[in-house]
Amino acid sequence: MTDFLWLVIALPLAGAVLLHFLGRFVGEPRSGWLASLASTSAFVVALVAAWPFIQGGEHSTTVLLWEWMPAIGANLELLWDPLAALMVLVVTGVGSLIHFFAIGYMRGDDRFHRFFTSLNLFMASMLTLVLAGNYAMLFLGWELVGLSSYLLIGFWFTRPSAAAAAKKAFIVNRIGDFGFMIALMLVFTAFGTLSYAGIFERADEVLSVGMATAIGLLMLVGAAGKSAQVPLYVWLPDAMEGPTPVSALIHAATMVTAGVYLIARSGAIFEIAPIASTTVATVGAITALWAATIALAQRDIKKVLAYSTISQLGYMFLAVGAGAYVAGVFHLVTHALFKALLFLGAGSVIHAMSDEQDMHKMGGLLKKMPTTAITMGVGTLAIAGIPPLAGFWSKDEILGSAFADGGWFSALWIVGLVTVLITAFYMVRQWVLVFLGEPRWSQDTSPHESPRIMTIPLIILAGLSVVGGLLNTPFALALEHFLEPSFEYVTLQNPPEGLAMFAVLAGLSVMAGLIGGGLGYVAYNRPKERWLDFEDGFEPLWGTWEQAYWVDDLYGAAIVAPGKKAAEVAAFGIDLPIIDGAVNGVGAAVRRIGELARPLQTGYVRNYGVLFLGGTLVVVIWLVAGS
């Protein structure tokens, strides 16, 4: 079944190439359908190839496509194991739905076909990343998703803010990549190969604890950049400048989970380095709380979801750091479902409001766009952790695992529990602000439900958000069983055994979710003046949250400004006077010498003739006199 596996990458790539060169002739909306077809067929191929895993009992295989640099174990090879299969199914499945949604969302855009070119390029890159059989190929995909993310954030590049956001995302990611590259060099130094097959089996005999810790921490730097963790998360909120389907696909469901995937894949290394794992979990917990508080006070509908994504990625880091790899990947999957749903819902709202994103100017949209409202409501409940929706099961497994780990992880568990409460609050706040209460939009906008091409993906995702959690409940650990072959080199951390413990822990987090959500409903289901007063009551905390703790200003003052200053010194202090000066000096000297010789060239032939004759005479006289 793996003979055709290369098609999974090749199909979207072919779509991207085709649309790049011929997209203008394919036109709208056919280029969108073509891209969606490429993505959907990749999903079908992946499903067929994954079928043996789903049935159980199939071994992981490596498919060698091309020997690239065999000496360092860097070939184009695909590792087809349950983890890769799951990631591919999520990427192509959610990705295809978003492709279809985008056909409606991007209608009328001048560069419609170009959008789908980039979208397909992203799919191919992300699939390269998750299917890679070695770190070199993973890094290739890692950089390619960075590129396509850049292209898509800056899709509306004529807006200066979009161009700036794209640059910011790229540069911040480069900082993370720097750490990741050093990690890969260390891996190569230690193992002499970059191939997974040669690394994970031998990890515990080859790696010293110090080396494993160094590799783990440097990988964390890379993962924190790609997955928007503290302190490298600042690019993700700005990335909302891209079209909303992009935010849904790249900055919520797929690309940003690459860091989680990297750590889960490298579990065998983190297993040896408890310090690195604990750091991963701590960074995750801090990020979860940090971003959740910022999300509380955002006015922009997409910014709320952006910070919420950062916060949820924090949960995944907490899980993989605690050794609960399955829980982390599980949350990755459920989050991909409900966050894609929420983003697409937000896109539907923005579409209906003629590109208005300020929630203060929304309200009362429930009657105008019921499908969007209800599906987004499902997403809100799912992320708030209300059973039996998807978010409840995955989030609960993470919190349970952290609790079971004990010690320091108990503190992280409490942070996670508080975050559940805040998450429920800000999500309900968002839903109420958008869909309930008085209409606050201006007279000339007339909100309307989106076309079916947009609502059908919403309905499918809402359905999946309801049932997605059943993949892995404490009563039937289907996903854990499915993923077991991928985690044979690690000891999985699980929630405490027993139904009673489960009930207590789940009860606590459900209670936190209900309290948060209830407070959000009570606080915001009121006239505008009342909830504005409510927000003012939290000053100066609320302003700090709204300004995202002024982290951007801090980075601006501490890093960007000195960088600009250094560039200024180099440009106007060194380059201009010294380097340019030397070059111009040489030119000026030559010019001055030329100036001296210039009068000789009078342009009159007779002058040259006289000189010529005189010269000849001198030579003749010299010859005659000399002889």
Partner 1 sequence: MIVAAGYYMALAAALFVIGALGMLLRRNVLVMFMCIELMLNAVNLTLISAGRALNDLNGQVAVFFILVVAAAEVVVGLAIIVAIFRRRSTASIDELSDLRG
For partner 1, which is the closer residue by CB, 70 or 614?
A: 614
CB of 585 to partner 1, least distance (A): 23
Q: CB of 174: closest distance to partner 1 in angstroms? A: 55
> What 8-state DSSP symbol labels residue 66?
E
CA angle (462, 467, 469) in 5-degree steps: 115
DSSP three-state, residue 76: strand
As measured in angstroms, the least distance from the Cβ of 622 to partner 1 is 19
491 versus 607: smaller Cβ distance to partner 1 = 607
604 contacts partner 1 (rule: CB under 8 A)? yes
Compute the Cα dihedral for 90, 93, 97, 100 and give only its sign.
Answer: positive
- Sole window of 113-121, 205-213, 392-400, 593-601 interacting with partner 1 (rule: CB under 8 A): 593-601
596 is a contact residue toward partner 1 (CB under 8 A): no
Given candidates 613, 618, 619, 620, which one binds partner 1 under the rule CB under 8 A? Answer: 613
For partner 1, which residue of 500, 597, 623, 625 counts as binding (CB under 8 A)?
597
Per CB under 8 A, the segment of 18-26, 102-110, 348-356, 607-615 that binds partner 1 is 607-615
* Per CB under 8 A, 598 contacts partner 1: yes
Angle made by CA atoms 98, 103, 106, in degrees to the nearest 5: 105
Rounded to whole angstroms, the Cα distance separating 523 from 436 reads 12
Residue 232 DSSP one-character state? S
601 binds partner 1 (CB under 8 A): yes
Q: Contact 288/214 with Cβ under 8 angstroms?
A: no
- Residue 133 near residue 77, CB atoms below 8 Å: yes
Interface with partner 1 (CB under 8 A), residue total 13
Classified as helix, coil or strand, 464 is helix
Q: Is position 600 an interface residue for partner 1 (rule: CB under 8 A)? A: yes
Establish if 592 lies at the interface with partner 1 (CB under 8 A): no
Report the distance separating Cα 220 and Cα 279, nearest Å: 8
57/603 with CB nearer partner 1: 603
Residues 190, 210: Cα–Cα separation, whole Å: 12
Q: Which stretch binds partner 1 (CB under 8 A): 166-174, 377-385, 521-529, 608-616?
A: 608-616
Which region, judged by CB under 8 A, interacts with partner 1, from 55-63, 384-392, 419-427, 606-614?
Answer: 606-614
> In the complex with partner 1, which residue's Cβ is closer, 603 or 626?
603
Smallest separation, CB 591 to partner 1 (Å): 13
| Contact between 623 and partner 1 per CB under 8 A | no
Q: How far is the CB of 598 from partner 1 (least distance, A)?
A: 4
Q: Which residues in the 311-330 window bind partner 1 by CB under 8 A?
A: none
Report in angstroms how near the CB of residue 593 gets to partner 1 at its nearest: 13
Among the listed residues 606, 623, 624, 625, the single contact to partner 1 using CB under 8 A: 606
Q: Does 591 bind partner 1 (CB under 8 A)?
A: no
Assign 65 to helix, strand or coil: strand
Distance CA 175, CA 603 (A): 64
The answer to the question of residue 407 lying near partner 1 (CB under 8 A) is no
- The CA angle 146-148-153, to the nearest 5 degrees, is 95
Which of 25, 444, 592, 605 touches partner 1 by CB under 8 A?
Answer: 605
Nearest CA to 331 out of 375, 396, 286 is that of 396
Q: Is 615 exposed, middle or buried (0-12, 13-18, 19+ CB in 10 A)?
A: exposed
Say whether residue 620 binds partner 1 (CB under 8 A). Answer: no
- Are 418 and 289 spatial neighbours (Cβ–Cβ below 8 Å)? yes
Q: Which has the closest alpha carbon to 397: 501, 491, 294?
A: 501
Give residue for tokens 């191919």: 124
**Residue of 66, 59, 86 lying closest to 136 (CA atoms):** 66
77: phi then psi, degrees, rounded to nearest 5: -135, 145
**Contact residues for 488 (Cβ-Cβ < 8 A; gap 6+):** none
Choose between 605 and 623: whose C-beta lies nearer to partner 1: 605
Helix (H) or strand (E) holding 293: helix 274-296
Q: From the list 108, 407, 540, 599, which residue makes contact with partner 1 (rule: CB under 8 A)? A: 599
For partner 1, the closer CB: 71 or 600: 600
User: Please, which residue, 540 or 603, has the CB nearer to partner 1?
Assistant: 603
Chain residues in the site for partner 1 (CB under 8 A): 597-606, 609-610, 613
